[in-house]
Amino acid sequence: MDTDTLNRLLDGGHPQLGAALAQFNKLNAQVFNFSHLTTTGQWVLLWNKFFEYLTVPTMPWLVQCLIGIKILSRDKTYLNETVHSEQLDCLLNLAGIGSDSNGTVGEDVQVEALKCLSNLIFQSRKCQELCLTNASTEGILRRIRTYKDGSICYDIQYFDMKVLFLLTAINCDIRAKVREDLHGLTYLVETLDLFMNQVADAKEFNDKDLELVNEVLKVLFNLTVRTPNNAIPEEEEANQFHRLAVIIHDLFFYRTLNRDKITSLQSNIVNLLTSVPVSCYNELITPLSPDDMENRTVVPFEEKNAYVLHVLVEFLRKHFQKAEKKSEQYELLSPILTVLVKAVRASGLNRRFVRSMILPPLVNVMERPEVGTELRNYICSLLTSPCTQIADLSAELLFVLCKENVGRMIKYTGYGNAAGLFANRGLLGGRQGNTEQYSSDSEDSDTEEYKQIQHSINPVLGCYEPPKPNPLEGMSEEQKEYEAMELVALMDQLQRQGIVQPCKIGDDGRPQPVEHILELQDEIPEQQRDHKRKT
């Protein structure tokens, strides 16, 4: 920066100060690295001078000063060293949420001050710590309570939510303070309900409505997410969570003018649902009335409207197509898989509907369960995912849909795909899961196609396997014994080299390593007895 421009910016009485501020902001509108200022010490000079201007009662260029501060805050080289509590309090007051806010500044000033606060909270750990003790969270919650009066403009509401999202996302202590001391969960649920009621007749969001609702959903997620330091006692928050679940149910029925943005709304809803207790999931499915049948947002199922569950399952289908890279699976699929697991555990009705979409009666069993474009194929392909969280969630979803019945799980997924689940739960060797919690009536209705080739289905692969010639045919007993011992020797060699670890099924139904391959002989009589019982 040339000396003349710097002098005009630093000289508060210069008649060209307003023009200099406007020029500085225009030239640096797209600049994010100010090394040309930080290395010369000019960044600190400008930073402190801009804040000094904000305290001048007659300063006519408050907005320009705030824009300058917002621009400078993009570079955090000296931010932690330079910013102090008085500067932060000054921004809070100009934003209308400080302890000394007088309410006389214009909306444009409040909006720019909120933008500065967003940058500072995001960029500076010191600012995050200062917000623990200053008036920021109390001020935002105080203003949120006035939204129902209709006097707060959209931009202020939007950046209120932006600042509150950053505060509750970055600092767990602020999150607890907002939720527990300031009753933030209650007020944010009311705010979401308020924004929805403002377009209740049309049930259609424009882009601004949608952006505002999305920000509220993100804050609600921060307040409800379970972390080691944020374990919300469900019994104490039950009423609030049930109310939230009802609002979320209604939110699924709102449309957007921009159809491409519906995914962002659904993503934020799904993220929030991961924090909602299972006991509230029954609110997602409602009784079906005769008038509903003419509505396009109706999916009849057992005299209920299962539209919300239908949308959630379709959301999973769309995200399978997006998660082409293994590295993207956790971020894209974990939330919706978690939500569906909770939904099917909530009630038998939910489970039966989701099962009808994911595990319909088998028709095509000529291909492996993980091969194909149906939802069952996609989820089965995740059972062996290198991302263990995704593999576990997928296995749990399918297992609950199968009513925790081992035989049914093998039928739909193949033993090979489900072996990890069985091993983790001690279900190897024919044990069953917790089937007592499910109704005894069978939901299986084998198709004619399945019955015709059922005897030729390989349970390990989970699909039809054509007959193969017997490799031992024509061998003498001595040759068979020789080949068997060669196989034992080869497996023993692999074990000694640490390439494989043979196991047997322990009393707890889990695999237990063996010291020598010949120990597996002890399993043969028991396996033969199991086979006779099954046949």
> Cα 145 to chain center, whole Å?
28
534: pLDDT confidence band, cut at 50, 70 and 90? very low
Three-class HEC string of 307-327: HHHHHHHHHHHHHHHHCCCHH
Same structural domain, 500 and 442:
no
Instruction: Confirm whether 513 is domain-assigned.
Output: yes
Instruction: Confirm whether 97 is domain-assigned.
Output: no
- Asked whether 158 and 209 are in contact (CB, 8 A), the reply is no
Mean of the pLDDT values across residues 150-166? Answer: 97
Least confident piece of the model among 147-161, 190-204, 320-334: 320-334
According to the model, what pLDDT value does residue 528 have?
Answer: 47
Q: Which of 464, 491, 521 is the last residue of a domain?
A: 464
Same structural domain, 425 and 493:
no
Instruction: Confirm whether 20 is domain-assigned.
Output: no
Please tell me what DSSP assigns to residue 486. Answer: H
Same structural domain, 385 and 423:
yes
Same structural domain, 373 and 453:
yes
Residue burial 40-76, b: 16+ Cβ < 10 Å; e: rest = eebbbebbebbbebbeeeeeebbbbbbbbbbbbbebe
Is a pLDDT exceeding 50 seen at residue 524? Answer: yes
Q: Which of 433, 464, 495 is the last residue of a domain?
A: 464
According to the model, what pLDDT value does residue 117 have?
Answer: 98
Is a pLDDT exceeding 60 seen at residue 229? Answer: no
What is the percentage of the chain residues whose pLDDT exceeds 70? Answer: 88
Q: Whole-model pTM?
A: 0.85
- Domain count for the chain: 2
> 487 is in which domain, residue-wise?
482-534
Q: Which amino acid is at 55?
A: T
Instruction: Confirm whether 178 is domain-assigned.
Output: no
Instruction: Confirm whether 45 is domain-assigned.
Output: no
Q: Which amino acid is at 251?
A: L
Q: What angle do CA 434, 437, 438 make, to 5 degrees?
A: 105
- Asked whether 286 and 304 are in contact (CB, 8 A), the reply is yes
Same structural domain, 399 and 433:
yes
In angstroms, how far apart are the furthest CA atoms of the chain? 109
Half-sphere exposure of 142 (CA within 13 A, CB side): 12
Q: Which helix (H) or strand (E) holds 8?
A: helix 3-10
Q: Which of 464, 493, 513 is the last residue of a domain?
A: 464
User: What is d(CA 337, CA 354) in angstroms, rounded to the nearest whole number?
Assistant: 12
> Cα 327 to chain center, whole Å?
15
According to the model, what pLDDT value does residue 520 have?
Answer: 66
Token pair belonging to 249: 């149910």
According to the model, what pLDDT value does residue 507 have?
Answer: 73
In the predicted model, what is the mean pLDDT of the chain? 86
44-99 pLDDT tens trace: 999 999 999 999 988 999 999 999 999 999 999 999 999 999 999 999 999 999 98
User: What is d(CA 468, CA 175) in angstroms, rounded to the nearest whole number?
Assistant: 63
Instruction: Confirm whether 379 is domain-assigned.
Output: yes
Strands (E), 330-391: none
Is a pLDDT exceeding 70 seen at residue 291? Answer: no
Same structural domain, 412 and 501:
no
Same structural domain, 443 and 515:
no
Token pair belonging to 306: 């299962």
According to the model, what pLDDT value does residue 531 have?
Answer: 44
Instruction: Confirm whether 423 is domain-assigned.
Output: yes
Same structural domain, 401 and 460:
yes
Same structural domain, 410 and 498:
no
Same structural domain, 396 and 454:
yes
Mean of the pLDDT values across residues 467-489? Answer: 85
CA proximity to 214, closest of 181, 257, 263, 144: 263
Instruction: Confirm whether 145 is domain-assigned.
Output: no
Same structural domain, 428 and 381:
yes
Q: Which helix (H) or strand (E) holds 92?
A: helix 85-94
User: What is d(CA 202, CA 255) in angstroms, rounded to the nearest whole number?
Assistant: 9
Please report how the helices 234-251 and 207-224 are oriented relative to each other, as an axis angle in degrees rounded to 10.
160
Same structural domain, 376 and 448:
yes
